[in-house]
Structure 1
């Protein structure tokens, strides 16, 4: 993670914002900040309020109360909108336009345009330029949507489930591009259900449930908030027997390895050592972001 001294000014804010859709309270006095040169991952169960929070910053909806600002301006201001790039989970683009025409059209809204060659290299769409958007596969369309989001040198990039539909190679290429953009000072707001993606990329994580922030901090700090530990080893003990031990959250096999999740790693480790003299390759790790997320939100989704 980059040193906090490299984090620049706050570029966007939600301050005590509430938003209701009829009787449903989507956001409940939520505050959020987006800083230059960092990737902020917004996580939460379906319906938590992530999309509503981003939609407010994009001027797609208005808050019922609280303050929304983009570069210390109202998000409605054209000068503010020209400094952001957006890649939504669903995008309705003219299917009869060629990819090159879509890029040119999108660039026309911006002052700080990127060269088409640079866009093609960053998004991997050089081979798609002459093709009609409607004739592309789902994964190819996602790459084009990413190209449109980065067709200008923006200060904030909003990405909603950006790697859905991409193969492994395309996903890794996008990750590399995002890291480069952040290193150059661009802020990125990432909403994703792929928790391994947030764990690999995010400088800061905000977990939202029922319209409120329930956890915020670095990936490491979020992981440290839960006591769950993962044990991996090679053992001759029957897995059904282990599942009956106190403190076992789950137990399974991954190839030759026994995988255990527990709240009491010390107790379980001692028992493994006592009951299996042939125990090998013992490894204990703190829970990953996925396990931490599930534990933090378990009570919230009931």
Structure 2
């Protein structure tokens, strides 16, 4: 007698995905696997191919080559089953109805749905239920979009700039709710220009550039892809040419008397600065996510033939609940 175990399907399984628009190659052979319950940040500069990739995952456009499955279904099949919701940062809200009426309207689109008040509470806006949407702040409207996405109880939630318009406390509360949702098994993929959000809240980071995934892994793994450290110092009238000539220095930037140096030999640079210049207030730090982002998405990174794999995922379009 033999027994077999069936492994649950991946939240997203994309293989060799290609998409072009005329002569523009938007997506070039992307392989992407996201497991249920992961929180994944999908980063990249404008034109990297993130939105096109998301459109294909949501079934809004078809790949020219390759395949995409969402929980074992075609993207459109997954959407039809209410497995996906997506949230945009703008659009899609009626200003003259209340917050509760907006979520009720969204809930009416689904055969299976969560209680409206539960979605409002999890989005942190239950106390605003009777307020007209037009009287809500930008951050409150963004939370409303989150509630609209939650009401269908999707297995996959895609967020595009989810905390735009929120203050620091609201952003922290929002991400606490996202973490709690992921702990229940929901898969979350989000795009953000706040790199510190990706650093702090994502389980994985996928970095895309020029249609290809160029890095994929945990925050620590991504940061380790770029060697060297950052040395910051105060040095009035700094001689940038001389600093650039110090062995190991990759780049030098200034902002007033404050100088930032990217170097592969921070110890040697520190000795040089302290013994031959008037530099003071030296700070030596490891590469941050921003410096890695720039290093991997600027021109030299375009020559990377294959992604640096350390895992995989996405950035988003669409608004409210995807149907």
Give the TM-score normalised by the residue count of structure 2.
0.80
Residue 124 (structure 1) shift: 2.0
The question of whether the paired residues in 1 share the 8 Å contact of 2:240 and 2:252 is answered with no
* Consecutive unaligned residues in structure 2, runs of 5 or more: 1-7, 304-323
Residue 287 (structure 1) shift: 0.6
Runs of 4+ with >6 A deviation: none
Corresponding residue number in structure 2 for 1:93: 93
1:173-184 matched pairs, under 5 angstroms: 173-184=173-184
Q: Aligned equivalents of 1:208 and 1:105: distance in 2? A: 36
Q: Aligned equivalents of 1:133 and 1:35: distance in 2? A: 35
Residue 291 (structure 1) shift: 0.5
Q: Aligned equivalents of 1:170 and 1:254: distance in 2? A: 34
Q: Deviation digits for residues 255-277 of structure 1, max 9, x if unmatched?
A: 9x865433331221222343479
Query: Structure 1 residues 69-78 or 218-227, which shifts more?
Result: 69-78
Aligned residues: 292
Q: Aligned equivalents of 2:47 and 2:81: distance in 1? A: 26
Q: In structure 2, the residue corresponding to 1:244 is in which secondary structure?
A: helix
* Consecutive unaligned residues in structure 1, runs of 5 or more: 1-7
Query: Structure 1 residues 8-17 or 27-36, which shifts more?
Result: 8-17
Q: Aligned equivalents of 2:232 and 2:25: distance in 1? A: 42
Q: In structure 2, the residue corresponding to 1:165 is in which secondary structure?
A: coil
What's the C-alpha RMSD, in Å, of the aligned pairs? 2.9
Give the TM-score normalised by the residue count of structure 1.
0.85
Q: Aligned equivalents of 1:120 and 1:165: distance in 2? A: 18
Corresponding residue number in structure 2 for 1:267: 268
The question of whether the paired residues in 1 share the 8 Å contact of 2:16 and 2:31 is answered with yes
Q: Aligned equivalents of 1:243 and 1:10: distance in 2? A: 52
Cα 1:112–1:219 change in 2 (3 A) is farther
The question of whether the paired residues in 2 share the 8 Å contact of 1:248 and 1:263 is answered with yes
Query: Structure 1 residues 121-130 or 19-28, which shifts more?
Result: 121-130
Corresponding residue number in structure 2 for 1:24: 24
The question of whether the paired residues in 2 share the 8 Å contact of 1:49 and 1:209 is answered with yes
Residue 176 (structure 1) shift: 1.4
Residue 90 (structure 1) shift: 3.1
The question of whether the paired residues in 2 share the 8 Å contact of 1:112 and 1:154 is answered with no
Using CA pairs under 8 Å that are at least 6 residues apart, name the structure with larger relative contact order, 1 or 2: 2
Query: Structure 1 residues 53-62 or 175-184, which shifts more?
Result: 175-184
Cα 1:127–1:239 change in 2 (3 A) is farther
Residue 232 (structure 1) shift: 4.6
The question of whether the paired residues in 1 share the 8 Å contact of 2:159 and 2:190 is answered with yes
Corresponding residue number in structure 1 for 2:171: 171
